[in-house]
Amino acid sequence: MGVVITVGNNKGGVGKTSVACNLAVALSRHDKNLKILVVDNDSQSNATSILLGDRIDPNYTMYELLNPEEPPAPIEKCIYPTGHAGVFCLPNTEDTSILEVLLCQNISDSFHLLRDKLRAFALEKFDFTLIDNPPTIGMWLTLSLVASDFAIVPIDAGSAHSIEGLQRVLELIEHVQQSLNSDLRFLRLLVNRVDKRTLISKQILELVRTKFEDYHFETYIPLNTAIQQAEFLGRTIYEYDPSCRAARHYKKLANEVLTLLGMG
């Protein structure tokens, strides 16, 4: 029996996609018996590009899975192996963005759409399902939270703005837990892109450790040229430089996630 984890924040540029993709590969490298699914729930399709490139059938994506005006595509056809052992991806496409208008017409039922289409299959077939989300609080993040057991919220240690909207994300998680998915739990904050040479990174680390004492990962992800280059090239850090500092921190993060969930 697996777990489903939302990776989300309402701020762009905090590294949600990078976290979802690199954590998935780090988990698979920790234990070759693990099977991990990355769900690209963002119509910008960055996770799809990183993990699959153009190796997808355009007839089997999130659009075909969630389109309420057409018979749903079989979910097993919408899931593709990546170039990483044990890691799979459910891809997205720009077309999915237009579904929001249709879903809002029957919003109470739509909130459970991703859960109904994905959750049972994901729990049966995968040890971990990581859902990457767009940088907004709205329909898509709510769908993701309703389908999930846990939420990870990345923040950018180089930007005070990533802290500003944090309370709204935590309030949404609490609202979904109370009204739509009582099984949902806020797992941890993840401080990303930490540069301990800068005052802002030190201040944000201290703020998180003080204000969210029991709700942050001990592991942080450092600002690292290798990971910036990997993101630019549309790759995971393990394809670009598996021995770099950021890759070592993702290994620690995978270990911490497994320990927190009693799977270590």
* pLDDT tens per residue, range 72-107: 899 999 999 999 999 999 999 999 999 999 888 888
- Beta strands 87-90 and 36-40 are parallel
For residue 17, how many other CB atoms are within 10 A of its CB? 26
The CATH T-level fold of domain 3-253 is Rossmann fold (3.40.50)
Whether residue 20 has pLDDT greater than 80:
yes
Beta carbons of 233 and 214 less than 8 angstroms apart: no
C-alpha distances in angstroms, 148 versus 91, 215, 224? 18, 18, 30
Q: How much is the mean pLDDT over the chain?
A: 92
Domain boundaries, the chain: 3-253
Q: Which pLDDT band holds residue 3 (cuts at 50, 70, 90)?
A: very high
Paired tokens of 201: 């990174």
Beta carbons of 81 and 51 less than 8 angstroms apart: no
CA-based angle 67:83:120, to the nearest 5?
Answer: 40
H helix or E strand, kind and range, residue 234: none
Enter the pTM of the model.
0.95
Q: How far apart (Å, rounded) are the C-alpha atoms in residues 204 and 210?
A: 10
Give 239-248 pLDDT, tens digit per residue. 999 999 999 9
Which regions of 164-253 does DSSP assign to beta strands (E)? 185-192
Whether residue 140 has pLDDT greater than 80:
yes
Of 149 and 165, the structure prediction assigns the larger pLDDT to 149
CA-CA-CA-CA torsion sign (243, 246, 249, 254): negative
Amino acid at 142: T
Q: Which pLDDT band holds residue 168 (cuts at 50, 70, 90)?
A: confident
Question: Which residue matches tokens 């998180």?
Answer: 208
